[in-house]
């Protein structure tokens, strides 16, 4: 094993950020502190939470309370039915996962996402983070190369800035512009997988928070990735949104007014997972 504990934080928009923060605080309040993870893998929304969590500047409670603030002035975007249909068409026309990601990347590069471009989007993400420096604790932030369709796992050793990495991971194709890092253009890591939990391979104990619980065709589901980790010998807990949480998310995961309800739903749901998470997280701990 290359490590002991890993926390995987999946994508899922602003509601995903809120829900993950609620779950993390609820578990911490019950004595299960996932902020001690040796590895944190963050995809899209999870990259924001992961960067905040590993900064060492916020407790789980403070991270949760940040989700309860007034969203006035925050831009509302939308991952609409038309855009989702375009993803589906790209899926249907692709024979491999890489080909699918290349098609979505091409769509993202050609999309008109409005005024401001990369620079304005980067400012939004920079303001959302409490630190712009890579943490001492190992944090991996995922994105996809818009041209090649290949996964990019940014970390402290990659030589790229944390804000750039998080911006790339959050670049939802067709909603936000691809992000340029090191001369390459990148899109949301969730195009490869909602969680990219396979990056936790080799860790003995893994907890996965997945605001998006489904996969589709060439995109593996969180449950499939969790099962592969188990088959490799890891003890794994996968937490996905409850019915109440999904209702709290509403119809638009990019609506900032839904972040607080999602956070409260995550806090409430955490109670259901304390026992199983504690059993895995404390296993083998001396």
Annotated catalytic sites, by residue?
Answer: 44, 188
Cβ atoms within 10 Å, residue 183 = 5
* φ, ψ dihedrals at 153, nearest 5°: -105, 95
Using the CB atoms, write b or e for 239-249: b if 16+ within 10 Å: bbbbeebbebb
* φ, ψ dihedrals at 226, nearest 5°: -65, -40
Burial label for 269, CB within 10 Å (0-12, 13-18, 19+), is: buried
Whole-angstrom distance, CA of residue 239 vs CA of residue 212: 10
Alpha-helix runs per DSSP H in the chain: 13-29, 45-54, 60-65, 81-92, 97-110, 117-128, 162-169, 222-231, 243-249, 259-270, 274-281
Asked whether the beta carbons of 234 and 207 are under 8 A apart, the reply is no
Helix (H/G/I), strand (E/B), else coil: 182: coil
Burial label for 63, CB within 10 Å (0-12, 13-18, 19+), is: buried
Report the relative pairing of strands 184-188 and 203-209 from DSSP bridges.
unpaired
Whole-angstrom distance, CA of residue 120 vs CA of residue 281: 39
Of 170, 186, 190, 167, nearest to 178 (Cα)? 186
């Amino acid at each position: 094993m290359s490590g002991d504990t890993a926390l995987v934080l999946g994508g899922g928009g602003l509601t995903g950020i809120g829900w993950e923060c609620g779950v993390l605080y609820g578990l911490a309040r019950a004595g299960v502190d996932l902020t001690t993870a040796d590895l944190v893998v963050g995809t899209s929304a999870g990259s924001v939470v992961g960067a905040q969590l590993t900064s060492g500047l916020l407790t789980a409670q403070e991270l949760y309370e940040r989700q309860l603030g007034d969203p006035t002035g925050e831009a509302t975007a939308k991952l609409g039915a038309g855009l989702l249909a375009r993803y589906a068409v790209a899926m249907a026309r692709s024979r491999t996962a890489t080909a699918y990601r290349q098609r979505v990347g091409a769509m993202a590069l050609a999309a008109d996402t409005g005024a401001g471009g990369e620079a304005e989007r980067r400012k939004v993400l920079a303001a959302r983070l409490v630190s712009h420096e890579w943490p001492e604790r190992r944090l991996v932030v995922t994105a996809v190369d818009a041209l090649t369709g290949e996964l990019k796992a940014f970390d402290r050793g990659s030589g790229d800035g944390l804000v750039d990495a998080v911006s790339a991971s959050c670049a939802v194709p067709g909603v936000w512009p691809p992000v340029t890092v090191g001369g390459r253009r990148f899109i949301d890591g969730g195009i490869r997988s909602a969680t990219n939990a396979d990056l936790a391979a080799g860790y003995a104990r893994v907890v996965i928070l997945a605001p998006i619980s489904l996969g589709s065709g060439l995109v593996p589901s969180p449950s499939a990735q969790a099962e592969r980790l188990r088959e490799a010998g890891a003890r794994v807990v996968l937490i996905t949104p409850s019915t109440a949480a999904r209702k709290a998310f509403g119809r638009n995961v990019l609506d900032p007014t839904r972040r607080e309800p999602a956070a409260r739903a995550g806090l409430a749901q955490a109670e259901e997972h304390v026992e199983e998470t504690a059993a895995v997280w404390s296993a083998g701990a001396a």
